[in-house]
Chain A
Amino acid sequence: NAGVTQTPKFRVLKTGQSMTLLCAQDMNHEYMYWYRQDPGMGLRLIHYSVGEGTTAKGEVPDGYNVSRLKKQNFLLGLESAAPSQTSVYFCASRSDRAAIRRDQPQHFGDGTRLSIL
């Protein structure tokens, strides 16, 4: 059981290049999230998805696009990378078991370290 897997783990881009970060989860979770974490900071939500085929903006969505074509995958795209997007990107997923009246904890991957030169 791999949990949440992010690929790639590291990447260096030049300004203006595009790339896609992949997040895959094998827990059959409905909800998936993309966060970014800058040095000494907490995590900030970029986009999220409540289920296959749905996406929504989070706190810092500008410059990013996402897609959830399959339930187990959540892709984060950078169309034209900028140095300000240098960060560590974390993907997370969680269950939507509404029958249990409590927050289901989020399960995180180990991050993708992205540098934009």
Chain B
Amino acid sequence: LAKTTQPISMDSYEGQEVNITCSHNNIATNDYITWYQQFPSQGPRFIIQGYKTKVTNEVASLFIPADRKSSTLSLPRVSLSDTAVYYCLVGVSTITSGGGADGLTFGKGTHLIIQP
């Protein structure tokens, strides 16, 4: 599984757009990029996933450049409730490639703090 690097922490203010960038220089051809969000005392929650270019859902957007060595999670107009730890993960479901099971590698994530 590809290793990822993301900032330890970020601060922003309500109503701002927040962009969290993740580096994954050794991403493999079959790897997808997935972001999870974790609130205190809760398990991680899936936010968004992408393979290339741009993906958007009701929560966030994910921008992936052509070389796929990095990705940026964009949270539009954040609120206080967006304060959480955000994890960037890169990997492939080995069952789709005929292998055994996988296990996601979670780094320390980015602790996003939103202030009033």
A-chain residues with CB within 8 Å of residue B51 when the two chains form the complex: 102
| Cα-based distance from A102 to B31 in the complex (angstroms) | 9
Chain A's interface size range is 20 to 34
Judged by DSSP, the binding face of B is loop
A62 within 8 A of B: no
Chain B interface residue count: which class?
20 to 34
Per-position binary interface string of chain A over residues 46-67, scored 1 when its CB falls under 8 Å from any chain B CB and 0 otherwise: 0011100000101100000000
Quick one: closest B residue to A32, CB to CB?
B101
The number of residue pairs between A and B whose CB atoms lie closer than 8 Å in the complex comes to 71
Measured between beta carbons, the chain A residues less than 8 angstroms from B52 are none
Q: Could you give, for residues 85-114 of chain B, a 1 whenever the CB lies within 8 Å of some chain A CB and a 0 otherwise?
A: 001000111011000110111111100000
**Complex A-B: 15 CB contacts under 8 Å:** A31-B95, A31-B101, A42-B106, A50-B100, A56-B101, A59-B103, A105-B46, A106-B44, A108-B44, A108-B45, A109-B43, A110-B42, A110-B43, A111-B41, A111-B42
Q: Which residues of A are in contact with B by a Cβ distance under 8 Å?
A: 4, 31, 33, 35, 40-45, 48-50, 56, 58-59, 90, 92, 96, 98, 101-111
